[in-house]
């Protein structure tokens, strides 16, 4: 029987589905060597430079042998505790290993489907703030995308597994988690030539010239750090007193610990009560006066305040035994006396920033105990008094690390070298402050960009042994101030006796003085307290001029038990918190009087601001 010819032709109603084209691995031309001969010559140079680098490193290390502890961060103790906790619960470790295996199987399947041309979502993506994988080939090139996702899976698994280990006390868990993250950050594919697409392209296209220049940069940084790698974070384009720290003023007092700067007025009238600022001695004061457009000092004089700022000395071994109490007497008390001689005002408003604020808090407790009323109000910028939840810096204050730190300081003549303090702070944000510069300076062979904030960050100071160990032990380790167990000058410090007005500034993303830690101070003082939270972190949260129109801040007149409750009832305002503080401070600053200039009072100028102490360099 003949088949009907009225139906559709075969395949007409059900055409075969077209298979997707396999996805390209990316533009391989970008990774083609430009000149093999030149590349070979540069690799010879790289080999020679590497030998020189290793020789110089060995030379510096042999000179230092026996003078420093072998394990200053107590890594051995930390990971022995971790290993013992893991062995006590083998089932959990097997389950964690199986989870990692399953994740890898999912990644392999995803990669295979993508190679066959399917559009697939990534198995894992970087955190929104992670800047390491911004190059296009981390997304567009299958090989590098697989490397990226493989790393992220492993790093996330490693950190979550350590965080979930049972049987560790909270302090040991925090240390283990912190150092595990440091290891994961160090092993990122972005930090190696062959697994970073940007670096690999630069190496091929420049015939390895980037690596030659990078090793030159590394050698220079090692020499500058006397055997340690002192990474340059900013081009050396700044001169203190020339293009940063340029607000006009005078040094009107000087002793062993500080120079007191009085700034010229910029208004015809000023408030009668002056403002005295104590920055941290861990860094130099000119974070408050980088450039005119972001200078806190310039803004304050523009609001009609007579501004005094302590510029702490960069201490050497002669000051190794200066104590925390010396910083109170020869620092705060000496400055208060000088301000009174310069202005005739007995009780200025006072500010303490970071550790300068911790010193001011303890000093207020001592003054309350001795009925000393030389301070009218106190403002604290990113300053802690209760250290029970003081952030990642608590990781460095176990007994083993403090003993090792004391050994290091004694080997250095009784001071902590500035480079060691800088390394500690840089570790808190290692991807931004260490590894990004390793890639830029050493792998890409570039010079860092000129950046005033990072120049200041690298302009380190030394710490005197007696003061620094007291600070770490009594505040970070023992939390003695908030517990009422701290004594200064034989007086027990009770902050409830401090009745003067207090303004507490915190920053939402502060990783050095967390806002939750600063909020605890609202329950410590005995007088009226105003607490605000600014956007950003430890520096940008404080130094945020209104003209920049950046970030935001929150206020809440109520002070509930926890910062979470405070935030729930807080109102958000755009921009800088400075006007809020100005509104509070101006009411405590007295009437307006004709502007006073440095030298108008009993103290005559000793030189121009920013003075000489700020220019003393530290290793």
Residues 353-400 pLDDT 10s? 999 999 999 999 999 999 999 999 999 999 999 999 998 899 999 999
Lowest mean pLDDT among 6-20, 181-195, 539-553: 6-20
Question: Which of 23-32, 138-147, 555-564 shows the lowest mean pLDDT across its residues?
Answer: 23-32
The answer, yes or no, to whether residue 5 has pLDDT greater than 80, is no
Q: Which residues pair with 244 in a beta bridge?
A: 240
The pTM for the full model equals: 0.91
Tell me which DSSP letter residue 439 carries. Answer: I
* Predicted local distance difference test score (pLDDT) of residue 65: 60
What pLDDT, on a 0 to 100 scale, did the predictor assign at position 6?
A: 37
Per-residue DSSP letters for 443-504? IS-PPPPP-HHHHHHHS---EEHHHHHHHIIIIIIT-HHHHT--EETTEE--GGG--S-EEE
Give catalytic residues, as residue numbers.
354
> What local confidence, expressed as pLDDT, does residue 548 receive?
95
Q: What is the mean pLDDT of the chain?
A: 92
Tokens representing 540 are 């940008």
Q: What is the mean pLDDT of residues 275-285?
A: 96
pLDDT at residue 619, as a whole number: 55
pLDDT at 160 over 90: yes
Of the candidates 240, 603, 290, 315, the one whose C-alpha atom is nearest the C-alpha of residue 452 is: 290
Q: Is the pLDDT of residue 417 over 70?
A: yes
pLDDT above 60: residue 8: no
Local structure of 345: helix, strand or coil: coil
What 197-204 contacts at long range (C-beta under 8 Å, 24+ apart), as own/partner pairs, is 197/135, 197/137, 197/138, 197/141, 197/144, 198/135, 198/137, 198/439, 198/444, 199/439, 199/443, 199/444, 200/31, 201/30, 201/31, 202/444, 202/445, 204/30, 204/31, 204/32, 204/33, 204/34, 204/39
Q: What is the pLDDT of residue 348?
A: 98
pLDDT on residue 3: 38
Confidence of residue 29 (pLDDT cuts 50, 70, 90): confident
User: Regarding predicted confidence, which is higher, 350 or 63?
Assistant: 350
At residue 31, the pLDDT reads: 84
Q: What's residue 486's pLDDT?
A: 97
What's the Cα-to-Cα distance from 207 to each of 36, 89, 301, rounded to whole Å?
A: 7, 52, 54
Choose among 355, 318, 372: nearest CA to 538: 355
Instruction: Please compute the mean of the pLDDT values over residues 219-236 and round it to a whole number.
Output: 89
Per-residue pLDDT, 419: 85
Q: Is the pLDDT assigned to residue 215 strictly greater than 90? A: yes
């Amino acid at each position: 029987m003949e088949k009907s010819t009225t139906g559709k032709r075969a395949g007409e109603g059900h055409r075969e589905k077209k298979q997707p084209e396999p996805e390209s691995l990316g533009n391989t031309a970008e990774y083609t060597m430009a000149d093999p001969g030149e590349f070979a010559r540069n690799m010879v140079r790289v080999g020679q430079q590497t030998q020189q680098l290793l020789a110089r490193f060995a030379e510096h290390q042999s000179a230092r042998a026996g003078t420093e502890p072998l394990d200053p961060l107590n890594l051995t103790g930390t990971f022995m505790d971790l290993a013992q906790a893991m062995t006590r619960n083998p089932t959990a470790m097997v389950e964690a290993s199986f989870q990692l295996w399953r994740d890898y199987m999912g990644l392999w399947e995803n990669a295979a489907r993508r190679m066959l041309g399917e559009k697939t979502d990534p198995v894992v993506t970087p955190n929104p703030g992670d800047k390491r994988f911004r190059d296009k080939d981390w997304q567009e090139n299958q090989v590098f995308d697989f490397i990226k996702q493989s790393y992220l899976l492993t790093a996330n698994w490693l950190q979550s597994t350590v965080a979930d280990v049972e049987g560790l006390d909270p302090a040991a868990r925090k240390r283990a988690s912190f150092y595990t993250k440091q290891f994961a950050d160090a092993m990122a594919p972005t930090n190696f030539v062959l697994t970073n697409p940007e670096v690999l392209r630069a190496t091929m296209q420049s015939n390895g010239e980037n690596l030659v220049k990078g090793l030159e940069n590394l050698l220079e940084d090692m020499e500058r750090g006397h055997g340690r790698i002192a990474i340059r974070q900013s081009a050396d384009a700044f001169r203190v007193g020339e293009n940063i720290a340029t607000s006009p003023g005078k040094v009107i007092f000087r002793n062993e610990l500080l120079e007191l700067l009085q700034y010229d007025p910029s208004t015809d009238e000023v408030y009668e009560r002056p403002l005295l600022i104590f920055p941290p001695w861990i860094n130099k004061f000119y974070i408050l006066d980088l450039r005119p457009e972001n200078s806190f000092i310039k803004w304050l004089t523009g609001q009609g305040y007579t501004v005094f700022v302590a510029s702490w000395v960069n201490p050497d071994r002669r000051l190794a035994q200066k104590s925390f109490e010396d910083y109170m007497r020869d620092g705060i008390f000496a400055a208060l006396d000088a301000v009174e001689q310069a202005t005739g005002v007995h009780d200025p408003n006072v500010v303490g920033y970071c550790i300068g604020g911790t010193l001011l808090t303890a000093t207020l407790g001592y003054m309350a105990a001795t009925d000393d009323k030389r301070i009218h109000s106190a403002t604290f910028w990113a300053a802690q008094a209760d250290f029970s939840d003081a952030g990642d810096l608590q990781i460095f204050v176990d007994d083993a690390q403090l003993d090792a730190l004391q050994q290091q300081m004694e080997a250095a003549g009784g001071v902590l070298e500035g480079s060691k303090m800088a390394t500690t702070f840089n570790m808190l944000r290692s991807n931004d402050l260490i590894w990004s510069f390793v890639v830029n300076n050493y792998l890409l062979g570039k010079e860092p960009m000129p950046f005033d904030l990072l120049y200041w960050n690298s302009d380190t100071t030394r710490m005197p042994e007696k003061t620094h160990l007291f600070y770490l032990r009594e505040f970070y380790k023992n939390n003695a101030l908030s517990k009422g167990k701290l004594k200064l000058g034989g007086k027990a410090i009770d902050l409830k006796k401090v009745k003067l007005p207090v303004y507490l500034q915190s920053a939402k993303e502060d990783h050095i003085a967390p806002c939750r830690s600063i909020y605890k101070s609202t329950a410590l003082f005995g007088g009226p307290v105003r607490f605000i939270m600014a956007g950003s972190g430890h520096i940008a949260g404080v130094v945020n001029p209104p003209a920049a129109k950046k970030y935001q801040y929150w206020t809440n007149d109520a002070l509930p038990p926890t910062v979470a409750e405070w935030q729930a009832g807080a109102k958000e305002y755009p921009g800088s918190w400075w006007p809020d503080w100005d509104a509070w401070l101006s009411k405590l600053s007295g009437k307006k009087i004709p502007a006073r200039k440095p030298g108008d009072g009993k103290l005559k100028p000793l030189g121009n601001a920013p003075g000489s102490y700020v220019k003393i360099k530290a290793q």
